[in-house]
Amino acid sequence: MDYKELGLTKEELVEMYRMMRLIRVFEESAVAYFKQGIVIGNMHMYVGEEAVATGVCKALTKEDYIASTHRCDGHLIAKGADINAMMAELMGRENGICAGRAGKMHQTAPEVGFMSANGIVGASQTLGTGHALYCSLYAPERVSVSFFGDGGGNQGAFHEAMNMAALWKLPVIFVCENNHYAISTRVDTATAMGTFYQRAAGYGVPGVRVNGNDVLEVYAAAKEAVARARRGEGPTFIECDTYRLRGHHEGDEQTYRTREEVNEVRENNDCITRMQTLLKAEFGWTEEEDQALIKSVDDEIAAAVEFGLKGEPMKVEDMYNNLYVD
Ligand SMILES: Cc1ncc(C[n+]2csc(CCOP(=O)(O)OP(=O)(O)O)c2C)c(N)n1
Ligand SMILES: [Mg+2]
């Protein structure tokens, strides 16, 4: 995918590269604190899939909506959520993005259009369709994105959401993050065709499949889909072929796949390395520039950790506060 055809500048490419690194280092840092018992709850990491969130969110405005999944960090960060408050949330602190009540899987950041993460596989499809209905009725300048996995794509809700969104020409973009596994179930053992994008045709919706580890391919598809939705022409289905480099959750022994399979993607199709290679080839991106960017990301994450550690742990007796609007 040619960045020039997409109208992207060097600064924008560097910004996308930095975003993917930011998501990765945020999560790797969260894992390190999880292992010490400071980050709590259940950890589903997005490592390896950062190009999907980065490419899609690059095509959105802050006002557009996102319905996310249990693997939500990348979507939150790319949409512009406060990473200090996110880190505090994972630590169960009062200064967290949901005052420590949400943990990882139930975070919301409506101030940046991130309506919810979700522990119910498949729920984001109907929720994202609902957000799109709101847009079409009350905020026609906005669009809605529903992220879901290959496992989520096999839930019945997928078909109901697609049908209604197509029928009512709702401004929703269905983004299937096909990372090849639903926990330990490989996609080709659960899905007859192994891919999902063809299904869109059955609803009269354009469907495309892109290399989900190539942020430019993801952005190109998202840009077109968003433009279509904003023109009132209805939904688009984008299947992003990607791969998670860590286990389903932290602690997953991953007996269902080989180390070689993981290493193959890590070495030959990592989204961050791809962009680094492009920057070097097109703009003579130097080692010094790279190190400066890495340091600025590390500093930003270190500040987020410090912010989280300074927060008061949520008290059990306050557990039911802030759950409902008065
Ligand atoms: C309705 C429902 N069924 C089952 C589960 C248990 N579960 C949690 S994650 C997961 C797999 C999801 O796979 P996929 O949609 O591909 O997303 P990924 O984890 O690969 O990002 C399952 C089955 C659940 N949370 N909700
Ligand atoms: Mg999956």
Residue 5, domain member (yes or no): no
Residue 87, domain member (yes or no): yes
The preferred substitution site among 174, 178, 179, 183 for testing ligand 1, maximizing ligand atoms within 8 Å of CB, is 183
User: Number of folded domains in the chain?
Assistant: 1
What does the pLDDT average to over 284-296? 98
Q: Give the integer Cα–Cα distance in Å for 114 and 108.
A: 6
The response to whether residue 151 sits with its C-beta less than 6 Å from ligand 1 reads yes
What does the pLDDT average to over 116-121? 96
**Quick one: pLDDT at residue 307?**
98
What does the pLDDT average to over 114-131? 97
Domain residues for the domain of 251 are 10-306
Asked if residue 148 lies in contact with residue 154, where contact means CB atoms within 8 angstroms, the answer is no
User: What letter would DSSP give residue 12?
Assistant: H
Which pTM does this prediction carry?
0.98
Residue 4, domain member (yes or no): no
Confidence of residue 107 (pLDDT cuts 50, 70, 90): very high
Name the average pLDDT for the chain.
97
Residue 318, domain member (yes or no): no
Residue 220, domain member (yes or no): yes
**Closest CA relative to residue 208, chosen from 193, 220, 191:** 220
**Quick one: pLDDT at residue 320?**
86
Residue 322, domain member (yes or no): no
Provide the CATH number for the domain around residue 108.
3.40.50.970
Confidence of residue 323 (pLDDT cuts 50, 70, 90): confident
The response to whether residue 247 sits with its C-beta less than 6 Å from ligand 1 reads no
Confidence of residue 187 (pLDDT cuts 50, 70, 90): very high
> Ligand 1, atom 13: nearest CA belongs to which residue?
182
| Beta carbons within 10 angstroms of residue 49's beta carbon | 28
Residue 187, domain member (yes or no): yes
Q: Give the integer Cα–Cα distance in Å for 36 and 45.
A: 17
The ligand with the least distance to the CA atom of 153 is: 1
The response to whether residue 80 sits with its C-beta less than 6 Å from ligand 1 reads no
The preferred substitution site among 68, 121, 246 for testing ligand 1, maximizing ligand atoms within 8 Å of CB, is 121
Confidence of residue 155 (pLDDT cuts 50, 70, 90): very high
Tell me if residue 41 falls in helix, strand or coil: coil
Residue 194, domain member (yes or no): yes
